[in-house]
Structure 1
């Protein structure tokens, strides 16, 4: 089973993604085979409970690219957002998604993520994609996770994100076969050990940023 190896730089870039709408070509009806249904109707909605309050995004958007779905529930104009990156483009339940909460602070680049520093290869929580409407280009589902602050030295407690829902979120990009990524090697040195992430590479770009997500087969001890 493949596990995430998350670098702090990756988490900063994920929170910095901004989405812009663009004109797209009509989708071939042959691609409308995601397991969901079309014509769901209703306004876009993205919300999740944490810290005793309900977070409601006022500008939720999504992007499908390179075999992954990225959903950003943005609130306000200060950069606050809850972000989901799912390494799939079909209806289903996924336990290997990357989920983060960016507080929007201009003085602290840290953020909550579903990565326990004590077990960095095992992201927690799950995302369930319940519908991908390829006719109207909207996506819906649910999610939950436990977030850990990215700066371990701050010694902050974990934060539970519960009852998360995203409904009729507009997306850019197209649903289709995952393209081949011509990467011969992608590795990084962590705690003095070089780890090869070339098993599976996902690349996405938006708003002037590029995000590279590398997966590696977990060692037998992690299975």
Structure 2
């Protein structure tokens, strides 16, 4: 059987940190036609219920949570006594039914899985065609997820689900697990997606307003005609067309440095200066005009600092101020 690598996202509801804002829900998403069981609680939403039948046995999560953004929905239930988890990821936040037939074009956002929180080999759902491609035998797709209600006021989500998952057990063999009678009722959700900050952090403001990115990319740039520098890019809503870049020379020690370009001054042996910023907003590119960057701490593996730049768009003449702080891990760069 062909090998398949699975990225199993574990939503640990008691520990996960949310720090990225998302867009408002589309008109018509709110649906309040259900009883969430919280009457008499002063409007405080109580923990919802997440349950299913897994391989013929009852599964009742004692910890559950959800993320509902403009681009995807993630719902997870964890049974801490057994250290097992069911995760549901959907490509839309709209009330309705999802299956492989109508979600195959966004398969990376249609993820149904069951497994141990300690294992990287969960049972995952796939279409019959994908299962056949990977050589899975005796497999029938049963995936159906229905979002029945989303309450924007109380920030809860409800629905039902079922699916069949498979996993590789070695020697070109697989095993399956059938999940039925699944339901998630009044699960509290956040509208914030977790920021991916494995390479460090970037906290920035544009004209005094927080720029809340959902991904950070850090790279060491060395090429002909430029000084070696670290590139720190914060991307919002997963689009490079909505991003901020900070450039900082690899040679900088603790101190303050005025805005400068990564381009070599005439290709000579001039000072190594890279302290700049740029951003892309509303299809306009803004590049460094003035400002400075300060390295507050530098070790063999980490650099931290602050910045304050004025950037401008060459065509329109519009200017913006970019300010904030950063910290990057440089050990593997």
Which residue matches 1:138? 156
Give ranges in structure 2 of 5+ residues lacking alignment.
38-46, 104-109, 135-139, 193-235, 242-333
In 2, Cα distance between equivalents of 1:53 and 1:164: 12
Q: Give the corresponding residue for 1:101.
A: 114
Q: Greater CA radius of gyration, 1 or 2?
A: 2
For residues 88 and 166 of structure 1, the distance between their equivalents in structure 2, rounded to whole angstroms, comes to: 17
The match for 2:63 among 41, 59, 63 is 59
Displacement after TM superposition at 1:52 (Å): 1.9
> Larger relative CO (CA 8 A, sep 6+): 1 or 2?
1
**2:71–2:92 Cα contact (<8 Å) kept:** yes
Q: Distance in 2 between matches of 1:84 and 1:54?
A: 18
Q: CA distance change for structure 1 residues 65 and 88 in 2, over 3 Å: closer, same or farther? A: same
Structure 1 residue 134 displacement after superposition? 0.5
Report how many aligned residue pairs link the two structures: 167
Task: Verify the 8 A CA contact 2:30 2:152 in the aligned structure 1.
Answer: no
| Structure 1, unaligned runs of 5 or more | 1-6, 185-223
1:36 aligns with 2:31: yes
Q: CA deviation at 1:160?
A: 1.1
Instruction: Using structure 1 for the length normalisation, give the TM-score.
Output: 0.62
CA contact (8 A) 1:46 1:167 kept: yes
The 8 Å contact of residues 123 and 165 in structure 2, kept in 1 or not, is answered as yes
Q: What is the Cα deviation at residue 60 of structure 1?
A: 0.9
Partner in structure 2 of residue 118 of structure 1? 132
Pairing of 1:163-174 with structure 2 (within 5 A): 163-173=181-191
From 92, 111, 125, give the equivalent of 1:88: 92
1:202-221 correspondence runs (5 A): none
Assess, with a 3 A threshold, how the Cα gap between structure 1 residues 136 and 150 changes in structure 2: closer, same or farther.
farther
Distance 1:168 1:154, change over 3 A: farther
Q: Which residue of 2 aligns with 1:8?
A: 5
Name which of structure 1's ranges 135-144 and 158-167 shifts more when overlaid on structure 2: 158-167
The residue aligned with 1:159 is 177
